[in-house]
Chains A and B, each alone.
Chain A
Amino acid sequence: MTRVIIIDDEEDICVVLKEVLERAGFEVEVASNGSDGMDLLRKQHADLVITDIIMPGKDGVETTYDIRMEFPNTKIIVISGGGNVSPMEYEPTAIKTTAYLASATKAGADLTLTKPFDRDEIVNAARRLTAH
C-alpha cells in the first residue's frame, strides 16, 4: 500500500486530509511538525510526504530539503495557506508564502498547492506522483 505522511501544525487539516487520502486508498500517518515528520519517515519509508509550509520549529522548506537529502525517492507536496504575510505586520511564524512556495520548489518539492484545494485536487496529485 502506498504510504503517505502528512505534516501540518493544524490538527484539523491533518485529520481531514488523512481521512480523504485513506478513502482514496492510501495508508496515512500524520505529524504536527517537521522534526516529527522526519522521525516518522526514518522509522518507516513513505512514498509521499504532504507538508504544510509554515510551521513552528522546522518549517516546510527545511523539511522538504531534509527529505530530499535523506530520501531522494520520496515525493513531496508542499501546501500553503496562501497570501503574502510578512512577519512584521501579521504574525511571527507567517512569511511571504508565495516566495516560500518558490523556495520549497527549489528545495525539491515535486508540487505545491495553495489551500483551500479540492478533495479531488489533492487525491489526484497524490495518485499522479505515487503512480498509485
Chain B
Amino acid sequence: MIFALLLVHAVLLPALFHGLFTIVRNGHEEAFIDHTRIYTRVFADIFETSIVQETEAEIVAHLDSAVLGGRSIYATLQVADSLLISSLMESEDADKFTEDFAFGEHGDNVYFLSVPLEMAATVAVLKLGFDEEPTLLQIGDARQTLIYILLMYLLVSLALVVLLSTVLARPLKRLRRDSRKIASGDYTRKLSIESGFHEIKELSDDLETMRSTLVGVNARLQKEIVEREAAVAKQQDLEESLRHSQRLKSIGTLAGGVAHEFNNVLLPILMYAELSLEDLPADSSVRSKLEQILKLAKRAQGLSQQILTFGRQPGDTAKVPLDIVPVVEEAMSMVRALIPASIDIRVDVEKGIGHVLCDAAEIQQLVVNLCSNAYKSQRSGGGLISVSVAKTNVDRKFTEKHPKLRQGKHVLLKVTDTGEGMDSATIDRIFEPFFTTREVGKGTGLGLSVVHGIVVKHGGEIVVTSEPNRGATFDVYFPLTEMQALPDIEETKK
C-alpha cells in the first residue's frame, strides 16, 4: 500500500509541483511586468508634461528620482541625439540596455523598458531598467514554500496510509487468519472482528453467518453420515440375520422333505419287521436279527422326528400359556439324571415371571438338549453348567439386531457352560442339522437343530455368545403372553 502510494506520488507530485510553480512564477512575473509598465508610464507622463520647459539638470533629477523610487536601477532619456543618464548610475551601464520583452530575458537580471515620449517637436525615448532580482528571489521563496508544502503533503499522506493500513489491514489480517483456521477444519472458531470500518465489521459478520451456517450444515451432514452408517450396519445385521434364518429354513425344508420320504420308507420297514417277528417261531435264529432291524428302524424314526422338529414353523402345533419355571425345573431334574455328578449344575430361576405360550414337552426337550450340548462341550470330566430363567425387557436396540423378536417383556432362559467354546464360524453353523464338531458317533448334530426349531416355533430367539476355550452361553428369549394359564384339566376333573 505504501509502495503504491509512493509510486502515485512519484508521478503526481512533480507534475503538481510543476503546475503550481508555473502559476506562482507567472503571477510574480506578471505582477513585476505590470508594475514596471505602470511605473514607466507614470514617469513617461511626468516627462511628457515637463520636459519641454526643464533643463537637462532637472531631467536628470527626474531620472534620479525614478531610480531612487526604488523601482528601477537604470533610467536614461534619449532626447534627439543626446542621452541623459541618471546620475545615480555608471555611464557605461547605459550601454547594457537591451530591451526585454519577457521577464528574465537576456540573463542580466534586469528588465529593460523603453517608452517613446509623445512630444510635438522632439523625439525622446525614456528607457528604464528594473531589477529582476527581488522578484526572482520571491519566486525562489515561493518555490521553496511549494516544495515544503508538497513534502508536508507527502509526509501526511504517508502517515495516513500507514495509519489506514493499520486500522484496515489488521482486522482483515485477523479475519484472514481465522478464516484459514476454519478452512483447515477448526469450525468452532468464531469470526468476530471489531473495526471502526463498518464495511469490515459487516464483512466479518457475513463471514460469521456463513461459518455458523457451515457449522450447522456440517453437523447435519456428520449426523447424517453417522445415521447412514448405523443404518448400513443395521441393514447388514438384518441381512446377515435374514441370510442365516433363510439358510436354516431352507436346510429345514430340505431336511423335512428328506425326513418325509424317509418316513414313507421307515413305516413299511418297521411294520414288516413287527409282522415278521410275529410270524417267527419263538426259537428262530432270525428273531434276534429282526429285533435288531426293528431297533435300528426305531432309532431312525427318532432321528427323523428330530429333523422334523427342526424344520417346524411357528404355529405348527397348539401351544398353551404356561409358567415356564416349573417346566424348566422338571427338565433340570431329567438333566441331573442324565449328566454325571462330576459336572456342577446350578439352577437359578426367578419365580412368578408370567406365562409363555408354549408346548411344555418341547421346552423340556430344548432345556435337555442345551444342557446335553453344554455337558458334551466340557473337555475334562468336571465343569459347570448354569441354567437361569429370568424376566427381561427387550428394547428397540435389541430388536434391531434380532428382528425376530418384538419389543416388550420376555423370558430369558440362559444356559452357560465352562466348556471348550467355539469360534464365530462354528456359531454361524451350529443350528444346522447334522453339523457337529464332535467325533463321529458322539453326536448326531441334531440336538441344537431341534433347539432352534423349538425356539422358532415359539416365536423366540436364541443368541449364542462364545469364544474358543471360554465356554459358551445360549440365551433363549421367549415372549411373555398376557394370557393366563389354563386350569389344570386333571385338577378340574377332581
Contacts and interface: CB of A to CB of B under 8 A. Distances in A.
A84 B270 contact: no
Contacts of A119: 270-271, 274-275
B253 interface: yes
A54 B261 CA distance: 11
Interface in B235-289: 250, 252-257, 259-261, 263-268, 270-272, 274-275, 278
B488 interface: no
Contacts of A124: none
A33 interface: no
Interface residues of B, number: 33
Interface in A74-117: 81-86, 89-91, 94, 96-99, 114-117
Interface stretch (B40-48, B95-103, B311-319, B346-354): B311-319
Contacts of B297: 116
Interface stretch (A7-15, A42-50, A57-65): A7-15
A15 to B, nearest CB: 7
B455 to A, nearest CB: 15
A16 B272 contact: yes
A19 interface: yes
A117 B267 contact: yes
A116 B263 contact: yes
Contacts of A98: 312-313, 316-317
B135 interface: no
B448 interface: no
A13 B268 contact: yes
B433 to A, nearest CB: 12
A116 B272 CA distance: 13
A23 B259 contact: no
Nearest to A88: B253
A16 B267 contact: yes
A81 B250 contact: no
A118 interface: yes
A82 B271 CA distance: 18
B308 interface: yes
A39 to B, nearest CB: 24
B243 to A, nearest CB: 16
B257 A83 contact: yes
B266 A116 contact: yes
Given A81-B260, A84-B316, A97-B260, A20 B275 contact: yes
Contacts of A84: 252-253, 256, 308, 311-313, 316
Nearest to A91: B257
Closest 6 CB pairs of A and B: A83-B256, A90-B257, A81-B260, A83-B260, A115-B263, A116-B267
Interface of A: 10, 12-13, 15-17, 19-20, 23, 81-86, 89-91, 94, 96-99, 114-119
